[in-house]
Structure 1
Amino acid sequence: MSTLVALARAQAFAAGRAQPIATVRHLHVHDHPLVLIPLAMAGEANAPLAAMLGTSPDRPRLLFVAQPRNRAERFAFAATLAAELVPYLTSFAGETEAVAVDRGRDVRHRYVDAPQIWVPNTGGIDFLRLFGRSTRFRRVDGDHPVPPTVPLLGQWLTFLAGASEVPGSSLLLNAVQALGLHWASGQSGAEDAHLAAQLAWIESGAAAAREAESGPVAGPATDPDFDNRVLAPLISDSDPSLPAVLHDLLLPAWQQMWRVLSLLRTLPPGDRVALRWDGDRDAYSSFVEHLAESGVPQPRRDGAVAAAARLQRLENAAARYAVQRAFDDPLVMAEYRLTGAAFVGVVTLAAPDRVDDTGKRPVLRPRIMVATTEPVRVEPGANLTSPARPAQKAKVISIARTESGWDVLLELSGGMGRKLVAEPGSVPLAGEQLLLTTLSEAYRPGAAFPEPAETPWTHGGPPEPFSPGE
């Protein structure tokens, strides 16, 4: 937990109302999302009991398993879930758009939109991940066959669960994490896992949150007391009232989910949210293409090379997401100003047409002086960036102490055109307020990994050829 978020939690506790910790929305909220509330039996390993899902708040669809310990009924539930979920997921695989690649020398195509699934909490994502693993390898022939849609559902759930691990992705989202990204409640992070209580802190305050704590939870596991008192007799007696009981249990969470979406839509999206959604559309398009070409299910575990490459992609995505959030949101950037990784100042002097001719050819290198009252914790030679001009580097030439703060001399490069005269507006002029930071959106190249067949023995050696049944 950062310092400012901790302060916001303390203020929320004192005021009895959640406090905003973002000025913009840092995720994409789809115009037509699908809400899915999975429910599993407590004490049973990934045994589905019910699910409420749909794309309209007025038309929830309830799926349930009358006997969760019955294998055949569980896979019948998977087939029914697939019949509801897969058509939604594939409905966006229609219209495409051309995207320039290789500096405009080639094009590729991606779908103009992609699906978005919402679950209540991280437990819901974990349930879908495990349910995808338990279904994507099922055979459609031989002993104990399942409908073809069951392994297809498993592949989709595995894809979505993998996408949810990518920082900034909006393909599979959970409500408590989305709320916690934008508001700080007056309770602990663990208590925020209770969707009803967290939402009440934002909408009404602490008193409403205390009342919400006693209401039904949003899954994915049922309450053991509910299992013993209510669920067990209904299942053992095959009571026909089971669907009505499950519907009443899930309906509050269903209504809360749509209130979360409405609440998030009140925030304007950050400037870089659309860029990350483009990445989601790329991932979706690639997966649809994979299903059309080979349809081979994802392996149970990655080999050493694939795991290392995926880890680096996630690390790069996390670093890029942190920078983008800070550039989009002054409240997020305030954290970096607090630690000295950013400061705000006013340009007092500017030489926009300065040319450096000490090298083989003259290059445009304007210099500016920035006066700031904030602590400057960078050294001469460091490269800074301004969110107002992210393609431009500002090299620190010198730092001088003044009576009111600091004077920072900077040399600019990039983002000014290709001539020896800067394009209008590309160089900050005297009087402009400027935010400078060590954060950068610069491209992070991937590491060079060996081919899987060259995996060293220290990492298990070359992996065995993948078989879908393994």
Structure 2
Amino acid sequence: MSTLTALARAEAVMTGRAQPIATVRHLHVHRRPMVLIPLAMAGEANAPLAAMAGDDREKPQLLVVTQPRNRDERFAFADRLAGVLIRYVDSFATVTEAVAVDRGKDVRYRYVDAPQIWVPNPGGVDFLRLFGRSTRFRSVDGEHPVPASVPLLGRWLTFFANSAEVPGSVLLANAVQALGLHWATGQSGAEDAQFGALLAWITDGAAAARDQENGPVAGPATDPEFDNHVLAPLIERNDPAIAGVLHELLLPTWDRMWRALDLLRAMPEGSRVASRWDSDRDAYSAFAQYVQEGGAPQPRRDGAVAAAARLQRLESAATRYAVQRAFDDPLVLAEYRLSGAAFAGTVTLAKADRIDDSGKRPVLRPRIMVRTAEVVRVEPGTSLTSPARPSQKARVVSVTPVGSPAPGAAVGSPAPGVSEGSVVTEFDVLLELSGGMGRKLVAEPGSVPEVGERLILTTLSEAYRPGGALPDPTETPWTHGGPPAVL
């Protein structure tokens, strides 16, 4: 837990209300999302009991398995779920747009929009992952055939579950994680996992949250008391009333899901959210085309090279997502200022026309001086970036402590390079700029910070970082299983 989040939790305890820990919304909320609330039978591994799903707030669709242990009923449930989910997913595979690639030399096509599925909590994501794994390899002919929609559903569920592992992706989102990204409550992280209590903290406060601690189930697990005293007798009698009981059980969570989406939509969207949604649209477009072309189901497990490549992609996505959140949100960036990875200051000197002619050809290298009252923990030679100009690098030339107190400034401790008896209250940071100023020896207007401009500089960067080289799958070493078997 970060320092500011801990402070926000403490304030939530004192005030009895959840505290915002973000100034903008860090995820895309679709104009027409699908809400899916899965429910599984207790004691049975991934045995579906029911699901409430739909993209219309006023028309939830309830799918029920009256005998969860019956194989035929489970796959009939999968067939009905496929009818709802795949119809929704396919509705976006219509209109495409051209996207320039290779610096405008070529174009590729992607769909102009993509589906977005919302579940209440991480358990819902895990349920869909397991259900996808149990259905995508099913045969549609031979012994024990299933409807053709069942393996197709499994492949799409696997795609969405895999995308949920990618930091910043919201093709499959869960409400608990999304709300926790933007608000801090006065309860523990484990208690935040209770969707109803978390939402009540945000909308109505601590007292309302306490009332929700034993509130409606949000799936996929059911309440043991409900299982023993209500559900079990209905299943034993094969009672058709089970549908009505499960409808009443899930409807409050359905309403809460849409209220959570309303809360998130009310926040202004971060400026980099759209670019991440573009990446989601790319992923959806590629997989939809793969399915249309008859591609094989996802493998049961990745090979050594594929697993390493996936881990590399996830690590890169996590780093990029953390930087983008910080650049979008001053409150998130404040965490890095506390740790010394960023500082804010005012430009006191600027030489925008400075030319460095020490190399083979002259290059534009303006210099600026930034004065800051924050402790600067970067060494000369460090490359910094400003969120206001992410494509521009600022190399630290020198950091000079200022030993005379500024009026009204807090007095700090003596620093190296300052005479005995002096106190450091400010630092002058000399920076050399490169990039983001055009291709000429004259900087484009506004590309160089001017005197008096307030800047935030950080070691964080959105610059592309190439991954490590990986061997060809045919050259997998014996320590990692050897080359894949030839089928």
Q: Distance in 2 between matches of 1:208 and 1:458?
A: 55
Q: How does 1:249-264 map to 2 (within 5 A)?
A: 249-264=249-264
Residue 460 of structure 1 corresponds to 481
Q: Which moved more, 1:95-104 or 1:377-386?
A: 95-104
Q: Distance in 1 between matches of 2:99 and 2:468?
A: 25
Q: CA deviation at 1:137?
A: 0.2
Residue 428 of structure 1 corresponds to 449
Residue 203 of structure 1 corresponds to 203
Q: 2:439 aligns with which of 407, 413, 418?
A: 418
The Cα offsets for residues 165-223 of structure 1, whole Å up to 9 and x where unpaired, read as: 00000100000000000000110111111110000000000000000112122010111
- 2:239 counterpart letter in structure 1: D
Residue 4 of structure 1 corresponds to 4
Residue 133 of structure 2 corresponds to 133
Residue 471 of structure 2 corresponds to 450
- 1:173 counterpart letter in structure 2: A
SS at match of 2:247: helix
Q: CA deviation at 1:465?
A: 4.3
SS at match of 1:308: helix
Q: Distance in 2 between matches of 1:312 and 1:359?
A: 36
The Cα offsets for residues 216-254 of structure 1, whole Å up to 9 and x where unpaired, read as: 220101111211110000000111210010001001100
Task: Please say if 1:280 is aligned against 2:280.
Answer: yes
Q: Distance in 2 between matches of 1:416 and 1:311?
A: 35
Task: Please say if 1:94 is aligned against 2:94.
Answer: yes
Residue 458 of structure 2 corresponds to 437
Q: Distance in 1 between matches of 2:389 and 2:214?
A: 50
Residue 182 of structure 1 corresponds to 182
Q: How does 1:124-163 map to 2 (within 5 A)?
A: 124-163=124-163
Q: Which moved more, 1:211-220 or 1:378-387?
A: 211-220
SS at match of 1:190: helix
Q: How does 1:257-406 map to 2 (within 5 A)?
A: 257-402=257-402, 403=404, 404-406=425-427
The Cα offsets for residues 18-40 of structure 1, whole Å up to 9 and x where unpaired, read as: 00000000000000000000000
Q: Distance in 1 between matches of 2:431 and 2:349?
A: 10
- 2:352 counterpart letter in structure 1: P
Residue 415 of structure 2 corresponds to none
The Cα offsets for residues 408-465 of structure 1, whole Å up to 9 and x where unpaired, read as: 0000000000111100000001000000000000001122111111111111101224
Q: Distance in 1 between matches of 2:356 and 2:295?
A: 57
Residue 111 of structure 2 corresponds to 111
Q: CA deviation at 1:103?
A: 1.2
Residue 237 of structure 1 corresponds to 237
Q: How does 1:66-85 map to 2 (within 5 A)?
A: 66-85=66-85
Residue 19 of structure 1 corresponds to 19
Q: CA deviation at 1:57?
A: 1.3
The number of residue pairs the alignment matches comes to 466
Identity of aligned residues (%): 74
Q: Which moved more, 1:285-294 or 1:59-68?
A: 285-294
The Cα offsets for residues 387-407 of structure 1, whole Å up to 9 and x where unpaired, read as: 000000000000000033100
- 1:42 counterpart letter in structure 2: A
Q: Distance in 2 between matches of 1:170 and 1:235?
A: 36
Q: Distance in 2 between matches of 1:348 and 1:42?
A: 66
Q: Distance in 1 between matches of 2:357 and 2:455?
A: 27
Gaps of 5+ in 2: 405-424
- 1:219 counterpart letter in structure 2: G
- 2:438 counterpart letter in structure 1: G
Residue 407 of structure 2 corresponds to none
SS at match of 1:348: strand
